[in-house]
């Protein structure tokens, strides 16, 4: 909804830009207009441009608010909300300055007072909606300039806060990288755990590299390394297409038990059990424990085909004693 609103606002703004016909005409005719303040005319031009730029910045922020950001962190959410509020205040305040400057210039032109009052009394947002004296205009402009100065200070504060948050983010990233380094002393579970975390952060190539290191570190491990590593790498590359968030790897299926009877084989990856997503062995064990003894759990699993793609199947098992051994992947 926000995206549609922001797009509509931008289209509306671009389709009805601030009219500069009068401004351009005044530049051409200023020598013939008695007492027209050219400095104020140029300032009015700059204010109008600033209103356009500020409006575009606000619309850009609204679009950015839809992107994948750290809004789960209250500090980042507050920072972004403050940025949007500040941008909106700048549009409002600079619009008022441009309007007041335009009124000041109009008082130097040969404009019928009745016509001018008829136009401004129908305004919905800008004030005043009556023709003030030049002294009143100057006072109003001075107030708005003070507000603009404060908005500038607020922007400096936001910039400092943003730098602090950025520094913190870099430190968190550095700390995470250190934790995810693979060491010769790591266990199988530790290497797999690091690979899974890398995948969850969408660092796919690094996760695949972690599985390669696993293969070199544990060539004769259980489950059989070659098949496990090949399946893990394919799963990591295709996880987004598979619409999965994780799974468990089946490395042993007991003969005659329920899993074998249902068609599950070594190398299958269970992604859901009893309609709950499974991301690690502990979750699988917890779900199976919670299932009633006479229940028929529903399993969803994927299987790597020789051509390199996965197929998916969903089955109901006649009991929860599956007869399988599994590890994380």
Least confident interval from 121-130, 169-178, 237-246 = 121-130
Q: Residue 40: its pLDDT value, please?
A: 74
Closest Cα to residue 41, out of 51, 31, 52, 55? 31
- CA pseudo-torsion sign 253, 254, 255, 256: negative
* Cα 121 to Cα 130: distance, rounded to the nearest angstrom: 6
156 Rama class: left (phi>0) / alpha (psi -120 to 50) / beta: alpha
Query: Is there a single domain that holds both residue 156 and residue 10?
Result: yes
* Cα 6 to Cα 13: distance, rounded to the nearest angstrom: 10
* Cα 155 to Cα 82: distance, rounded to the nearest angstrom: 9
Of the candidates 177, 199, 231, which is a domain's last residue?
A: 177
Query: Is there a single domain that holds both residue 131 and residue 261?
Result: no
Residue pair 108/35 in contact (Cβ under 8 Å)? The answer is yes
What is each CA distance from 207 to 170, 227, 234, 326, in whole angstroms? 20, 17, 11, 20
Query: Is there a single domain that holds both residue 92 and residue 231?
Result: no
Q: Total structural domains in the chain?
A: 2
Query: Is there a single domain that holds both residue 44 and residue 152?
Result: yes
Summary mean pLDDT of the chain:
84
Classify residue 206: in a domain, yes or no.
no
What CATH number did the domain enclosing 278 receive? 2.30.42.10
> CB neighbours of 148 closer than 8 A, spacing ≥ 6?
90, 93, 94, 97
pTM for the model stands at: 0.60
DSSP state of 253: E
Least confident interval from 65-74, 102-111, 120-129 = 65-74
- For the segment 269-312, what is each residue's pLDDT rounded down to a tens digit? 999 998 899 999 999 999 988 888 778 889 999 999 999 999 99
Residue pair 211/236 in contact (Cβ under 8 Å)? The answer is yes
Structure tokens at 229: 């590593």
Classify residue 202: in a domain, yes or no.
no
- CA pseudo-torsion sign 94, 100, 106, 112: positive
* Cα 231 to Cα 196: distance, rounded to the nearest angstrom: 13
Q: Span 33-61, mean pLDDT?
A: 79
What one-character-per-residue DSSP string does 270-323 give? EEEETTEE--SHHHHHHHHHHS-TT---EEEEEEE-TTS-EEEEEEE-SSS---
Q: Span 212-231, mean pLDDT?
A: 93
Classify residue 77: in a domain, yes or no.
yes
Place of tokens 């197929």: 311
Of the candidates 155, 177, 199, which is a domain's last residue?
A: 177
Query: Is there a single domain that holds both residue 171 and residue 257?
Result: no
Classify residue 32: in a domain, yes or no.
yes
Of the candidates 177, 204, 234, which is a domain's last residue?
A: 177
> CB neighbours of 77 closer than 8 A, spacing ≥ 6?
70, 71
Domain span including residue 120? 2-177
């Amino acid at each position: 909804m926000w995206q549609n609103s922001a797009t509509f606002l931008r289209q509306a703004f671009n389709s009805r830009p601030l009219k500069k016909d009068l401004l351009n005409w005044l530049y051409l005719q200023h020598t013939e207009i008695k007492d027209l303040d050219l400095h104020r005319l140029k300032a009015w031009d700059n204010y109008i441009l600033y209103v356009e730029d500020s409006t575009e910045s606000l619309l850009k922020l609204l679009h950015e608010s839809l992107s994948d950001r750290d809004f789960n962190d209250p500090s980042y959410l507050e920072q972004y909300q403050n940025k949007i509020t500040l941008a909106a205040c700048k549009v409002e305040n600079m619009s008022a300055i441009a309007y007041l400057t335009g009124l000041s210039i109009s008082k130097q032109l040969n404009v019928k007072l009745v016509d001018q009052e008829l136009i401004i009394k129908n305004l919905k947002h800008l004030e005043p909606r009556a023709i003030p004296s030049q002294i009143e205009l100057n006072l109003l402009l001075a107030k708005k300039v003070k507000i603009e100065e404060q908005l500038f200070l607020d922007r400096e504060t936001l910039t400092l806060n943003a730098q602090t948050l950025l520094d913190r983010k870099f430190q968190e990233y550095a700390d995470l990288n250190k934790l995810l380094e693979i060491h010769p002393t790591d266990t199988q579970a530790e290497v797999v755990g690091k690979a899974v975390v890398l995948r969850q952060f969408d660092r796919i190539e690094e996760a695949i590299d972690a599985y390669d290191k696993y293969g070199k570190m544990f060539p004769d491990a259980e489950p059989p390394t070659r098949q496990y590593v090949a399946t893990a790498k394919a799963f990591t590359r295709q996880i987004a297409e598979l619409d999965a968030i994780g799974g468990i790897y089946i490395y042993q299926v007991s003969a005659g038990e329920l899993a074998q009877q249902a068609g599950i084989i070594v190398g299958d990856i269970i992604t859901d059990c009893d309609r709950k997503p499974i991301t690690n062995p502990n979750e699988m064990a917890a779900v199976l424990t919670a299932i009633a003894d006479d229940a028929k759990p529903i399993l969803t699993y994927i299987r790597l085909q020789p051509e390199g793609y996965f197929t998916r199947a969903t089955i109901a098992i006649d009991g929860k004693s599956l007869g399988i051994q599994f590890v994380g992947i």
